[in-house]
Amino acid sequence: MTRTEAENRSRSFTRHPEWRGHMPPTPEKPPDDHCADRDLAGERLRGGDSAPALDVFLSGQVFMDMIFTGLPGLPPPGTEVVTDGLGSAPGGIANIAVAMSRLGLRVGLAAPFGDDMFGSYLWRTLALQEGVDLGRSRKVPSWPTPVTVSMAYDSDRSMVTYAPPGPLTADELVGAAPPAARACFIDVDRPVPAWAVAMRAAGSLVVADLGWDQTGTWSSEVLDRLEHVDVFLPNAVEAMAYTRTGSPERAAEALAERLPVVVVKRGGEGAIAIDSVSGERAETPALPVRALDATGAGDVFAAGFVYGTLAGMPLDERLRFANLCAGLSVRHRSGSLGSPCWGEIAAFGESGEVPESILADYAFVIPFIPDAAADSAVRAEPTLRKEP
């Protein structure tokens, strides 16, 4: 179905009579496959066999995220709190790898994995359940898996992380010849890796984010690295700190002078974007949903923006699609495994959670939903639960 045909069928992403029953029953899927429609979405995105083997390539550290849910409060020193749920999910760089894969992007990841129980779980979940290509990743004997414990309470979270030094560098994992991909994803809080520079020279789009500056210096050296970047996705606090500006809008304008596309994420206030090549500017409010846990929402936003970019969406639609994906992810507590699949995106149009006037702004999403997408919300089941 072409985009024009879909728009003629339904001009709003809403509870339209033709929307009901639009999708046939869910096809049979492999065990533990929470997003059986991802391959169909990917085929529609690529539209042929001439595309590279990967859509996106990235490298980084994978963490074992353990997420306590249902907490009555955070434990004061010397006390214990008993809760009724403990979810586990791949974290760190896996947050964005999973979010991209669930949208149908073919994702390659270069990362070290421990040979302990956690490492085995992470490898199996990413490779078998989430379809991430781990051809450039390595299992490292006797190296303990990094772990983050997250305690979600009252729409916020506290975390404790154990992160032993990585046994292999990204360059060692990637090798002298990086894979062919339509895009690669990096962090610019450290020097741009040689493999990313090589991929850009070969035609790949370089998308970048960055982590929080623990030193508080907000060095201008970070901004100098943007000369190797095509799309930059900082949050508002980071953008203002690095550019020494007083508002997200002014920060976006300053960053747009350095690279083609900049997106400044404003959390509950939405996001703004500038394309300095086309002259496009866009702004969108946050999706008005009840946020339970914002863990990984920025990564889900980035995944949606990358998908929209590779799908050829105009800037305002890229921004809104990223906003939709992030908004869906914060409605429940489950880390990377809470990233939306197309089935959840489809179901949201029927949920009645937000007014139809708001859903209408997302009508452009309909043509991208696979016909076989399951019309039901997808939730990550916690791996450990208190027995009833």
Instruction: Give the pLDDT confidence score for residue 292 in this predicted structure.
Output: 64
Instruction: Give the pLDDT confidence score for residue 19 in this predicted structure.
Output: 36
β-pair partners for 186: 208
HSE-up of residue 45 (Cα within 13 Å, Cβ side): 29
Tokens of 203: 């035609």
Tokens of 307: 């998908």
Between CA 287 and CA 241 the distance in angstroms is 26
Looking up tokens 């949208």, which residue turns up? 103
Instruction: Give the pLDDT confidence score for residue 48 in this predicted structure.
Output: 62
Question: How many residues are there in the chain?
Answer: 388
Looking up tokens 């929470």, which residue turns up? 34
Between CA 315 and CA 273 the distance in angstroms is 8
Between CA 166 and CA 153 the distance in angstroms is 31
Instruction: Give the pLDDT confidence score for residue 274 in this predicted structure.
Output: 96
* Ramachandran sector of residue 235 (left: φ over 0; alpha: ψ -120 to 50; beta: rest): beta
Between CA 246 and CA 249 the distance in angstroms is 9
Between CA 54 and CA 133 the distance in angstroms is 9
Residues whose CB is less than 8 angstroms from the CB of residue 224 and which lie 6 or more positions away in sequence, other chains included: none
Please say whether the beta carbons of 187 and 210 come within 8 A: yes
Please give the chain's pLDDT, 388 residues, in tens.
Answer: 444 444 443 334 444 333 333 333 333 444 456 677 787 777 777 766 667 789 999 999 999 998 887 788 888 899 998 887 777 889 999 999 999 999 999 999 999 999 999 999 999 999 998 999 999 999 999 999 999 988 877 666 788 899 998 888 888 899 888 999 999 999 998 899 999 999 999 999 999 998 877 777 888 889 999 999 999 999 999 999 999 999 999 999 999 999 999 999 988 788 999 999 999 999 998 888 776 666 678 899 999 999 999 999 999 999 999 999 988 887 766 667 778 888 888 888 777 777 788 888 888 988 888 876 654 444 444 444 443 3
Q: What is the pTM of this model?
A: 0.85
Instruction: Give the pLDDT confidence score for residue 184 in this predicted structure.
Output: 97
